Amino acid sequence: MTRTSAKWLVLLEKADISCSPINSIDKVFENHQIQYREMKLTMEHALAGSVPLAANPLNFSETPVKYNKPPPSLGVQTDEILKDWLELGDGEISRLRCDRII
């Protein structure tokens, strides 16, 4: 069964099922809620230039969200994540790299 996401949304909403589309980045910024809440922000990225991003949907009057740096490029934090989160050593990471797993 092939249907567009718009058709699925109509059918699910009629069935009283809470739902929302999964959007590509261009579609995100077409959303009226994103526009109304001014959730589009732009950051400079070292490789990609000016990058559009969706801002945090939560707004706190006393503790505003700060956007200090853009998202990392693919693979930039691989070693850090493998060491800090998975507690892998340099040897294990080297082996994964030699085996072309990472």
- 15-74 pLDDT per residue, tens: 999 998 888 888 899 989 999 999 999 999 999 999 999 999 888 889 989 999 999 999
Contact 62/48 with Cβ under 8 angstroms?
A: no
- 9 lies in a domain? no
Distance, in Å, from the CA atom of 33 to the CA atom of 61, rounded to the nearest integer, reads 19
Q: What is the pLDDT of residue 59?
A: 85
Q: Find the angle CA(58)-CA(34)-CA(22) to the nearest 5 degrees.
A: 95
- 48 lies in a domain? yes
Structural domain of residue 84, as residue ranges? 72-102
- pLDDT tens for 82-102 read 999 999 999 999 999 999 999
- In terms of domains, do 63 and 25 share one? yes
- In terms of domains, do 81 and 100 share one? yes
Structure tokens at 11: 């059918």
- In terms of domains, do 35 and 50 share one? yes
Q: What is the pLDDT of residue 64?
A: 87
Q: CB-based burial of residue 62 (10 Å sphere; 0-12 exposed, 13-18 middle, 19+ buried)?
A: exposed
The SS3 of residue 78 is helix
Q: What is the pLDDT of residue 97?
A: 96
pLDDT of 1 strictly over 80: no
- In terms of domains, do 30 and 64 share one? yes
- 27 lies in a domain? yes
Please count the structural domains in the chain.
2
Distance, in Å, from the CA atom of 99 to the CA atom of 102, rounded to the nearest integer, reads 8
Q: What is the pLDDT of residue 83?
A: 97
Residue 76 banded pLDDT, cuts 50, 70, 90:
very high
